[in-house]
Structure 1
Amino acid sequence: MIKYYNRNSKQYEIEKVAGDKYLKWNYSSPVGLSLLDIFIKKKLFSKIYGQYCDSKLSKKKIDKFIKDFDIDMSLCKKRVDEFTNFNDFFIRALKNEARPIDMNKDILVSPGDGRLFAYENIDMDNLMQVKGLTYSLHELIGHKELASKYNGGVCLVLRLCPTDYHRYHFIDSGICESSNKINGNYYSVNPIALEKIPKLYCQNKREWSLFHSENFGDVILMEVGATCVGSIIQTYTPNSPVKKGDEKGYFKFGGSTTILFFKQDSIKIDEDILYQTSLGYESKVIMGEKIGERA
């Protein structure tokens, strides 16, 4: 059971998890863990499933998924019958009015939909994965000199589950450098897996880029792949100006994570998010929603 905080209702809610029983078995039972190590965490498994989700055969999954997880299709640009396969539905674009963006230059907005943890005054050598499990920024990006500049800063971990809108956007106007790709495994990023696999983010396939934000300084933007994520697709043009709210890219099928790092004294995260993080609860947010402000 995954409980998170809904900022709108100010209530705790239980997440509907796609493949919940499978995940628990896969990351808890001896047989499941063996299968995970031998095959499921490998690129081939996610590649095969990704190819299926790109095929016409997968279109039959769409209606059931919408019904099981109460997806509001009125927010989408396409009608249900216009999707050509499951991945086409999964990366669905939304109408502009579905995700209003606070354009105040002092306001920090969420880069996407998902469940958010926020950590202030970070120790770059002991970033929190879950209680008792940590990792380092140096290990995550493979760049020790750059990592050292973010000690004492802020780390945001936004987990996108399969039911979420799976496009991610720029938090501010500025210029983003090219994406650095790091090959790795394809573990799930669900809390069930995070509690079992040490340094999971450092083991999974991921991409990171340095974003020269106009109002929040230089920000490290990272996208982490997961089980059944066929691809991380970057749609922005490197080293060209972007505006706040512009699309940066999207994930194909699967739960995924975006991680952001800010330098010390650059931003102040909203108190309710910090408080819920201190209690061990993610806060549900949507793309464009205010999550902090310039320090």
Structure 2
Amino acid sequence: MIKIYNRSTKDYEIEKVAGEKYLQWNYSSPIGTSLLELFVKRKLFSKIYGSYCDTKLSSKKISSFINDLDLDMSISERSQGDFKSFNDFFVRKLKPNARPINTDSNVLVSPADGRLSVFTNIDLDNIIQVKGFTYSLKELIGDEKTANEYKNGTCMIVRLCPTDYHRLHFIDNGTCSDSREIDGSYYSVNPIALEKIPKLFCQNKREWSIFYSENFGDVILIEVGATCVGTIIQTYKPNIPVKKGDEKGYFKFGGSTTILFFKENTIKVDSDILEQSKLGFETKILMGERIGVKTNLVAN
């Protein structure tokens, strides 16, 4: 059971997890963990399943997925019958008014729908994955020089589960560097897996870039793949100016994670998010909503 904080209701709710019983078995039982290490975490498994999700046959899964997880299709640009495959449905775009973006240049917005955890004044060698498990930024991006620039900064982890809108957007006006790829495994990024696999983010396939933000400094943007996420698609053009809310890319099927690193004294995260993170709870957020402000302002 995964409990998350809902900012709208100011209360906790239980997350609907796709394949929860399978995840528990896969990451907790002797047979399940053996299968995980032998096959499930490997690229071949995710590639095979990802290929199936690109076929017309996979479209039969859409209806039950929507019903079982109670998805709101009224905000989708296309109706259920218009999708050619499950992946076509999974990376669906939303109607323009579905995710209003806070356009105040002083306001930091979420890059995606998901569940947010925040860590401030970070120790670059001991960034928290979950209680008891840490990793280093150098291991995560493979670039010690860049990593050292973020000492005492802020780390934001946005976990996307399969029920979420799976497109990523820019948090500000600016330009973004080329995306650098790092090969790795395909563990789930669900909390069930995070509590079992040390340095999981550093083991999974990932891509990272530097976003030269107009208002929040140079931000490291990292996309972490996961089980069945065989592909991370970048739709932006490197080094070309973008506007706040423009699309950066998307994940194909599966739960995924995007991680952002901000330099010291550049942002102030909203107090409710910080409080829940300190208590060990993720906060449910939507793309475009306020999650913080520039450090020269006082958050409400």
Query: Normalising by structure 1, what TM-score?
Result: 1.00
Post-superposition offset of 1:253 = 0.1
CA RMSD of aligned residues (A): 0.4
Letter in 2 for 1:189: V
Give 1:59's aligned residue: 59
Secondary structure in structure 2 of the residue aligned to 1:16: coil
In the alignment, the residues of structure 2 paired with residue 6 and residue 25 of structure 1 have an alpha-carbon distance, to the nearest angstrom, of: 28
In the alignment, the residues of structure 2 paired with residue 230 and residue 265 of structure 1 have an alpha-carbon distance, to the nearest angstrom, of: 36
**Displacement over 6 Å in runs of 4+:** none
Give 1:83's aligned residue: 83
Give 1:229's aligned residue: 229
Secondary structure in structure 2 of the residue aligned to 1:243: coil
Do structure 1's residue 25 and structure 2's residue 25 form an aligned pair? Answer: yes
Give 2:242's aligned residue: 242
Give 1:274's aligned residue: 274
Give 1:72's aligned residue: 72
Do structure 1's residue 41 and structure 2's residue 47 form an aligned pair? Answer: no
In the alignment, the residues of structure 2 paired with residue 21 and residue 66 of structure 1 have an alpha-carbon distance, to the nearest angstrom, of: 18
Gaps of 5+ in 2: 296-300
In the alignment, the residues of structure 2 paired with residue 261 and residue 220 of structure 1 have an alpha-carbon distance, to the nearest angstrom, of: 5
Secondary structure in structure 2 of the residue aligned to 1:17: coil
Give 1:132's aligned residue: 132
In the alignment, the residues of structure 1 paired with residue 289 and residue 52 of structure 2 have an alpha-carbon distance, to the nearest angstrom, of: 34
Give 1:93's aligned residue: 93
In the alignment, the residues of structure 2 paired with residue 230 and residue 224 of structure 1 have an alpha-carbon distance, to the nearest angstrom, of: 11
Secondary structure in structure 2 of the residue aligned to 1:218: strand
Letter in 2 for 1:284: K
Letter in 1 for 2:111: P
In the alignment, the residues of structure 1 paired with residue 50 and residue 230 of structure 2 have an alpha-carbon distance, to the nearest angstrom, of: 4
Give 1:120's aligned residue: 120
In the alignment, the residues of structure 1 paired with residue 14 and residue 196 of structure 2 have an alpha-carbon distance, to the nearest angstrom, of: 21
Post-superposition offset of 1:91 = 0.2
Do structure 1's residue 290 and structure 2's residue 290 form an aligned pair? Answer: yes
Secondary structure in structure 2 of the residue aligned to 1:258: strand
In the alignment, the residues of structure 2 paired with residue 173 and residue 96 of structure 1 have an alpha-carbon distance, to the nearest angstrom, of: 19
Post-superposition offset of 1:241 = 0.3
Post-superposition offset of 1:43 = 0.0
In the alignment, the residues of structure 1 paired with residue 30 and residue 151 of structure 2 have an alpha-carbon distance, to the nearest angstrom, of: 39
CA distances 1:110-154 after superposition (whole Å, capped 9, x unpaired): 000000001110111100000000000000000001100101000
In the alignment, the residues of structure 1 paired with residue 151 and residue 201 of structure 2 have an alpha-carbon distance, to the nearest angstrom, of: 19
Aligned length: 295
- State the percentage of identical aligned residues: 68
Give 1:50's aligned residue: 50
Gaps of 5+ in 1: none
CA distances 1:240-261 after superposition (whole Å, capped 9, x unpaired): 0000000000000000000000
Letter in 2 for 1:15: E
Secondary structure in structure 2 of the residue aligned to 1:49: helix
Do structure 1's residue 175 and structure 2's residue 202 form an aligned pair? Answer: no
Post-superposition offset of 1:77 = 0.4
Letter in 2 for 1:147: A
CA distances 1:138-183 after superposition (whole Å, capped 9, x unpaired): 0000000110010100000000000000000000000000000000
In the alignment, the residues of structure 1 paired with residue 89 and residue 68 of structure 2 have an alpha-carbon distance, to the nearest angstrom, of: 15
Give 1:106's aligned residue: 106
Post-superposition offset of 1:188 = 0.1
In the alignment, the residues of structure 2 paired with residue 291 and residue 65 of structure 1 have an alpha-carbon distance, to the nearest angstrom, of: 29
Give 1:10's aligned residue: 10
Secondary structure in structure 1 of the residue aligned to 2:97: helix
Post-superposition offset of 1:230 = 2.3
Letter in 2 for 1:41: K
Secondary structure in structure 1 of the residue aligned to 2:212: strand
In the alignment, the residues of structure 1 paired with residue 130 and residue 72 of structure 2 have an alpha-carbon distance, to the nearest angstrom, of: 31
CA distances 1:180-239 after superposition (whole Å, capped 9, x unpaired): 000000000000000000000000000000010000000000000000012100000001
CA distances 1:40-66 after superposition (whole Å, capped 9, x unpaired): 000000000000000001000001111
Letter in 2 for 1:162: P
Query: Normalising by structure 2, what TM-score?
Result: 0.98
Letter in 2 for 1:97: N
